[in-house]
Chains A and B, each alone.
Chain A
Amino acid sequence: EVQLVESGGGLVQPGGALRLSCAASGFTLSTYWTHWVRQGPGKGLEWVARIRNDGGPTTYADSVKGRFTISRDNAKNTLYLQMNSLRAEDTGVYYCARDNPPRRLDPWGQGTLVTVSS
């Protein structure tokens, strides 16, 4: 079964850091582009970042550029999101999703909750 499972969320103070993980099973993560998408409490969906399958340039939303880093460990078949200088507005559920040609986000992980608060 093709599956993505996120972990690493939690409560962190403003200015702090957190690293999210997204473990893939049923497929090889490095053969697909993959994304992080987040959802604030009671809000809609916001795209965060993408990494290509070929290790090429990564791309970020303006709201997280310079603070977040998307990366991948091919040996562990795992995607990461390193989040630094966290702000209250970064609070929400973070999902990883596979970029499944043509032009689909499927599947999605179940999400991991990040809360930025003092």
Chain B
Amino acid sequence: DIQMTQSPPSLSASVGDRVTITCQASQDISNYLNWYQQKPGKAPKLLIYDASTLETGVPSRFSGSGFGTHFTFTISSLQPEDFATYYCQHFGYLPLTFGQGTRLEIE
């Protein structure tokens, strides 16, 4: 199985800050990497697929990059509604696996 190592596990930041989350795959997954946002009591929401493609309707302050085993997710200027937990997920082959999550909190 492919292991996804996500860091940091938690992050405190302020509105307007730029934040970056990283995800490392245990083997080459090309660009088959997605990022999801999850708010308490809600289902995950797809933000980015294929490592860097923004899902329709997702604000442009969200971005992703990477290829192979190392990936990054960035929010360029935090908004109040962005405080949530973020997960990376590989889509190379089954079983699909997720990173452990990054909880983004208000500083």
Q: Mark B8-51, 1 if CB is under 8 A from A, else 0.
A: 00000000000000000000000010101000001111100110
Stretch of A23-31, A72-80, A102-110 with 4 or more beta carbons under 8 angstroms from chain B:
A102-110
Chain A contacts for B32, CB-based, 8 A: 103
Given contacts A59-B94, A61-B95, contact A106 B55 (CB under 8 A): yes
CB < 8 Å neighbour of B49 from A47, A102, A110: A102
Report yes or no: B46 in contact with A103, Cβ–Cβ below 8 A: no
The prevalent SS among residues of A at the interface is strand
Q: Which of B49, B50, B94, B100 contacts A44 (CB 8 A)?
A: B100
Q: How far is the CA of A35 from the CA of B46 in the complex (A)?
A: 15
Q: Given A44-B87, A45-B87 in contact, is the A105-B98 Cβ separation under 8 Å?
A: no
Q: Is A108 touching B44 in the complex (CB atoms < 8 A)? A: yes
A109 nearest CB neighbor, chain B only: B43
Residue on B with the closest CB to A6?
Answer: B43
**Interface size (A, Cβ < 8 Å)?**
21
Contact between chains at B43 and A95 (CB < 8 Å): yes
CA distance A108 to B44 in the complex (A): 7
User: Contact between B98 and A35 (Cβ–Cβ < 8 Å)?
Assistant: no
Expressed in whole angstroms, the minimum distance between the Cβ of B66 and any Cβ of chain A is 15
Q: Which residue of B lies closest to A106 (CB)?
A: B46
List 11 additional A-B contacts (Cβ < 8 Å) besides A45-B101, A47-B98, A105-B96: A44-B100, A45-B44, A47-B95, A47-B96, A50-B94, A59-B94, A95-B43, A103-B34, A104-B91, A107-B43, A109-B43
Listed in ascending order, the chain A residues whose CB lies under 8 Å from chain B are: 35, 37, 44-47, 50, 59, 61-62, 95, 102-111
Could you list which residues of chain B lie within 8 angstroms of chain A, going by C-beta atoms?
32, 34, 36, 42-46, 49-50, 55, 87, 89, 91, 94-101
